[in-house]
Amino acid sequence: MIDLIKKGLLAGLGLAAMTRDKAEELVKGAIEKGEISEKEGKDLVDKLLKKSEEAIKDMEMKVEGIVRKALEKMNVATKDDILEIEERIKNLEKQ
């Protein structure tokens, strides 16, 4: 459920991962116009991809925190809660 919400929010915010092809396409135009060298272009592609990954990780952490707080407020049982109850049931059945 958390993953589904995170994916929806990330897609809605337009923060899908920038692919290498897309980054290279953006930089290729600048290289062709002579605005940057091929070396600078390669460095820029790497930098764009790194920034994109960092932005996605940051947003995922924020979204996960928001979702967890919302679930806590709704007083929904967590997976750990359910596992604990299952363990207690098993122990009672043994008795």
Using CA atoms, how far apart are residues 6 and 60, in angstroms rounded to an integer?
Answer: 7
Which domain covers residue 89, as residue numbers?
Answer: 2-94
The 10s digit of each residue's pLDDT in 62-86 is 888 998 888 889 988 888 999 999 9
Place of tokens 């596992």: 83
For the chain, give the mean pLDDT: 80
pLDDT tens, residue by residue, 34-47: 888 888 888 888 88
Tokens, residue 84: 């604990």
Count of C-beta atoms within a 10 Å radius of residue 44: 17
Say what the pLDDT of residue 49 is: 78
Q: Based on the number of CB atoms within 10 Å of its own CB, is 9 exposed (0-12), middle (13-18) or buried (19 or more)?
A: middle
Is there a contact between 41 and 49 (Cβ–Cβ < 8 Å)? Answer: no
What's the whole-model pTM score?
0.55
Could you give the number of structural domains in the chain? 1
Q: Return the pLDDT at 9.
A: 55
